[in-house]
């Protein structure tokens, strides 16, 4: 019997690439829910599905729903029983979270509780995956890489609400035996990303001769750095995780039994080096200004860093080099420059 997967936030950047990977690598039927707000753009799904044969695109069913509200019987019946739930829907704009923390509590904590409660009604649920973020661990000192069980240190309301949603998911695993996995992803980039994000925003500024601000340490001048990971690698890692035999890896960490996985790029890079690589690919001059990361906004962190060693030990690493992925995204974005429009 064909499996069914529910993807929340399916019109979002990461989720629509996950849908693409599921369509390409499985015969599963997909139900996706989205409220189509700041982050959700139905044109992502439209472009994706328009490129597929009709018998493939018809496997995707879209349902409009805002997860701040519980899934009522009518919505639940439209979704039906599912085998997998991939919870990617979330408010993720840090500046807006600083301006309006309660909005993000409703989206990322209440919304997560509502989808977890729906998951409890699914009789044939194999796995519930909660997508968390590197930001729950807070800033990483130089040479420190946080593993899956590191302590939390949220430095802004966005990361705090993602940590809250994550802990709710863990509690449903422990209280109701819900089959939950947690994924922590680092900074994701790729095709059809919102133009406010650093990579597409940099591509646009370099193309147009604009000024790029680079957050840096005011004393050392060291720019902020990340382990950027391409969205296709994130989707590939997710399918790898879903295919794991959970009898083959450690599931009990001193009483903490909910499995967690860091999805990490294969190379750390600072943001100044990143924009210079983009400039070289485009054969364009890069205009930039280093600014004090402490003064740009409250709760800003200079460096995030997760360890990818656990996933590597299980057999997964990103397929391509970071520079290869950057070139791929730059070329694609310039060819599809309507995605650079704010």
In whole angstroms, what separates CA 44 from the centre of its chain?
A: 16
**Which residue from 217, 230, 163 is spatially nearest to 191, judged by alpha carbons?**
230
Degrees to nearest 5, angle at CA 254 with 252 and 259: 35
φ, ψ of residue 5 to 5 degrees: the values are -125, 135
Q: Tell me how far apart the alpha carbons of residues 159 and 179 are, in angstroms, rounded to a whole number.
A: 24
Q: What is the CA radius of gyration of the chain?
A: 20
The contacts of residue 337 (CB under 8 Å, 6+ apart) are: none
Rounded CA-CA distance 1/159 in Å is 39
> 185 with 159: CB under 8 angstroms?
no
Which residues belong to the active site? Answer: 158
> β-strands 188-189, 229-230: how paired?
parallel
Instruction: Note the helical H segments in 26-105.
Output: 42-50, 54-57, 73-79, 94-99, 101-105
How many CA atoms lie within 13 Å of 182's alpha carbon, on the beta-carbon side?
27
- In DSSP terms, 188 is beta-bridged to 229
Residues 6+ apart with CB under 8 A from 256: 149, 170
């Amino acid at each position: 019997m064909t499996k069914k997967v529910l993807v929340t936030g399916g019109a979002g950047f990461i989720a629509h690439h996950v849908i693409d990977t599921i369509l390409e690598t499985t015969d599963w039927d997909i139900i996706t829910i989205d409220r189509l707000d700041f982050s959700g753009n139905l044109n992502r799904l439209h472009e994706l599905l328009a490129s597929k044969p009709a018998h493939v695109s018809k496997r995707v069913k879209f349902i409009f729903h805002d997860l701040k509200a519980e899934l009522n019987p009518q919505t639940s019946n439209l979704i039906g029983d599912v085998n997998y739930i991939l919870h990617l829907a979330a408010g993720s704009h840090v500046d807006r979270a600083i301006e309006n923390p309660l909005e993000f509590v409703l989206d990322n904590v209440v919304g997560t509780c509502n989808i977890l409660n729906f998951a409890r009604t699914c009789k044939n649920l194999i796995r519930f995956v909660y997508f968390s973020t590197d930001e729950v661990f807070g800033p990483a000192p130089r040479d420190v890489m946080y593993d899956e069980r590191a302590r939390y240190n949220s430095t802004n309301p966005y990361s705090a609400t993602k940590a809250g949603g994550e802990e709710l998911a863990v509690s449903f695993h422990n209280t109701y035996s819900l089959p939950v996995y947690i994924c922590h992803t680092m900074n994701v980039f790729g095709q059809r990303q919102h133009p406010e994000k650093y990579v597409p925003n940099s591509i646009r500024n370099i193309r147009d001769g604009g000024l790029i601000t680079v957050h840096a340490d005011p004393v050392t001048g060291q720019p902020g750095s990340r382990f950027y990971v391409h969205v296709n690698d994130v989707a590939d890692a997710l399918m790898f995780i879903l295919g794991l035999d959970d009898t083959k890896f450690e599931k009990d960490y001193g009483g903490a039994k909910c499995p967690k996985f860091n999805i990490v790029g294969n190379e750390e890079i600072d943001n100044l080096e990143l924009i210079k690589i983009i400039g070289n690919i485009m054969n364009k001059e890069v205009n930039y200004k280093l600014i004090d990361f402490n003064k740009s906004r409250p709760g800003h962190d200079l460096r995030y860093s997760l360890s990818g060693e656990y996933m590597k030990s299980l057999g997964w690493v990103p397929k391509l080099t970071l520079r290869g992925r950057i070139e791929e995204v730059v070329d694609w974005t310039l060819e599809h420059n309507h995605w650079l429009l704010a």
